[in-house]
């Protein structure tokens, strides 16, 4: 008997999503002018403990606009983790700035204060902490360093809706923070993103940049180039319904993580996610595993074997300092970040979607044990 394929992600849309979408259709409000956009911005600002939320079309453009809006000078350096998505480096490069990559911690997979301190130069102007896969960056010392040196901080909380750092919400730190609402996120709008800040003037600037820098008095005369990154009312309607169920979402994800931990406790040839640190409990946005050195193959081969057993997986991020496009531009040419290089080659994540059943978790864990036996 062939078993069904278990996808790596499955969103849950069983709250008020359909009702709110129907309201958009019934009222004719489908564009970015509709009332759900403001409601969603306020709801996410509340989740993140921020004064302002500016909804945009995805988490990548949220970073583009956030970095650009800080008004740094061409050639200024921004410290980013090498273990992250390309969006982080792309936002820095598109703003005319220089990405400086730092290695990650072997256990939490996040950037560290030691890495950041070692990467500071006289040209450093900003730091972009990016929370990876379920545990936040240990932000305290990084924020303190930024404060002392007058550096800007862009907090990429794309994966971290509903997570906290020492009791304060992720997305509440730094000058500006960003979220993604892609379907694998704890809050999804299909595609979508948000930029958040407590700074009133910066919020105004971010809203202008999101909306082509139209001017209130003379709409089609522009002093600056912006983006059309407006979120539609349809997307925001989904978002409002998703935020309503965020606490349950976090509970489900945490439970998925705990169940995988139980099933995989006796599998000693992998590294599992750290369940908690002194500043946060893991919320398992995704359940990642890293193959130990004694496994005679890499993540790619493990994923191929799991696919044959009907288990969907995703590789870990590929390091920024190893990206052909960035290297061709001359960035990070002499970098070496062994921790991130290792997990990029030996790490992948198991099915982690919200609709995952206990049976599917057990089957995925069993399949992993079988391919590693
Ligand atoms: C850490 C991080 N930053 C940014 C993004 C980009 O978000 P989007 O896919 O909405 O463009 C993602 C997407 O998964 C992400 O994981």
Distance 31 CA to ligand 1 centre (A): 23
pTM of the model: 0.97
Largest CA distance in the chain: 69
Which residues lie closer than 8 Å to 323 by C-beta, 6 or more apart?
Answer: 86, 89
Closest CA to 83 of 319, 289, 274: 319
- Give the pLDDT score at 1: 46
- Give the pLDDT score at 325: 98
pLDDT in tens, 46-55: 999 999 999 9
pLDDT in tens, 178-235: 999 999 999 999 999 999 999 999 999 999 999 999 998 999 999 999 999 999 999 9
- Give the pLDDT score at 313: 98
Which residues lie closer than 8 Å to 267 by C-beta, 6 or more apart?
Answer: 368, 369, 372
Q: Which of 84, 180, 229, 316 to mutate to test the pocket of ligand 1 (most atoms within 8 A of CB)?
A: 180
Dihedral class, residue 262 (left if φ above 0, else alpha if ψ from -120 to 50, else beta)? alpha
In a 3-state reduction of DSSP, which class is residue 24? Answer: helix
Whether the Cβ atoms of residue 220 and residue 17 lie closer than 8 Å to each other: no
Distance 114 CA to ligand 1 centre (A): 25
How far are the Cα atoms of 24, 25, 180 from residue 30, in angstroms, in the given order? 6, 7, 20
Distance 62 CA to ligand 1 centre (A): 9
Burial degree of 122 (CB within 10 A; 0-12, 13-18, 19+): exposed
The residues lining ligand 1, judged by C-beta closer than 6 Å to any ligand atom, are: 58-60, 84-85, 87, 130, 156, 158-159, 180, 182, 193
DSSP state of 220: T
Helix (H) or strand (E) holding 212: none
> What residue's CA is closest to ligand 1, atom 8?
59
Chain-centre distance for alpha carbon 119: 22
Distance 48 CA to ligand 1 centre (A): 17
Q: Which of 64, 85, 229 to mutate to test the pocket of ligand 1 (most atoms within 8 A of CB)?
A: 85
Q: What residues of the chain score a pLDDT lower than 50?
A: 1
Whether the Cβ atoms of residue 206 and residue 65 lie closer than 8 Å to each other: yes
Question: Among all chains, which residue has been given the structure tokens 């809706």?
Answer: 161
Q: Which of 56, 88, 159 to mutate to test the pocket of ligand 1 (most atoms within 8 A of CB)?
A: 159
Closest CA to 47 of 142, 186, 154: 186
- Give the pLDDT score at 2: 60
Q: How many residues does the chain have?
A: 373
């Amino acid at each position: 008997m062939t078993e069904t394929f278990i996808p790596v992600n499955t969103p849950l849309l069983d709250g008020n999503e359909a009702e709110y979408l129907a309201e958009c259709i019934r009222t004719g409000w489908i564009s970015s002018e509709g009332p759900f956009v403001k409601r969603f911005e306020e709801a996410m600002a509340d989740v993140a403990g921020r004064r302002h939320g500016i909804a945009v079309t995805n988490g990548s453009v949220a970073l583009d606009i956030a970095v650009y809006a800080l008004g740094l000078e061409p050639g200024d350096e921004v410290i980013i983790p090498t273990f992250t998505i390309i969006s982080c480096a792309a936002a820095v490069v598109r703003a005319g700035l220089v990405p400086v990559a730092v290695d990650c911690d072997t256990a939490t997979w996040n950037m560290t204060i030691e890495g950041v301190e070692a990467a500071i130069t006289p040209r450093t102007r900003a730091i972009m902490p990016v929370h990876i896969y379920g545990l936040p960056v240990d932000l305290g010392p990084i924020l303190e360093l930024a404060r002392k040196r007058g550096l800007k901080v862009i907090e990429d909380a794309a994966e971290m809706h509903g997570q906290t750092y020492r009791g304060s919400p992720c997305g509440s730190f730094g000058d500006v923070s960003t979220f993604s609402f892609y379907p694998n996120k704890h809050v999804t709008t299909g595609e979508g993103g948000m930029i958040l800040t407590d700074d009133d003037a910066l919020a105004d600037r971010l809203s202008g940049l999101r909306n082509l820098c139209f001017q209130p008095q003379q709409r089609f005369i522009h002093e600056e180039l912006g983006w059309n990154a407006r979120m539609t009312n349809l997307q925001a309607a989904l978002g409002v319904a998703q935020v309503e169920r965020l606490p349950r979402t976090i509970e489900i994800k945490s439970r998925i993580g705990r169940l995988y931990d139980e099933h995989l406790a006796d599998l000693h040839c992998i590294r599992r996610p750290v369940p908690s640190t002194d500043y946060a409990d893991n919320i398992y946005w995704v359940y990642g595993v890293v193959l130990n050195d004694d496994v005679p193959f890499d993540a790619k081969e493990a994923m191929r074997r799991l696919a044959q057993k009907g288990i969907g997986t995703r590789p870990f991020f590929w390091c920024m300092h190893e990206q052909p496009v960035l290297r061709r531009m001359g960035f990070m040419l002499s970098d070496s970040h062994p921790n991130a290089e290792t997990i990029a080659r030996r790490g992948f994540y198991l099915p982690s979607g919200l609709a995952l059943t206990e049976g599917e978790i057990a089957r995925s864990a069993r399949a992993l044990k079988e391919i590693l036996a």
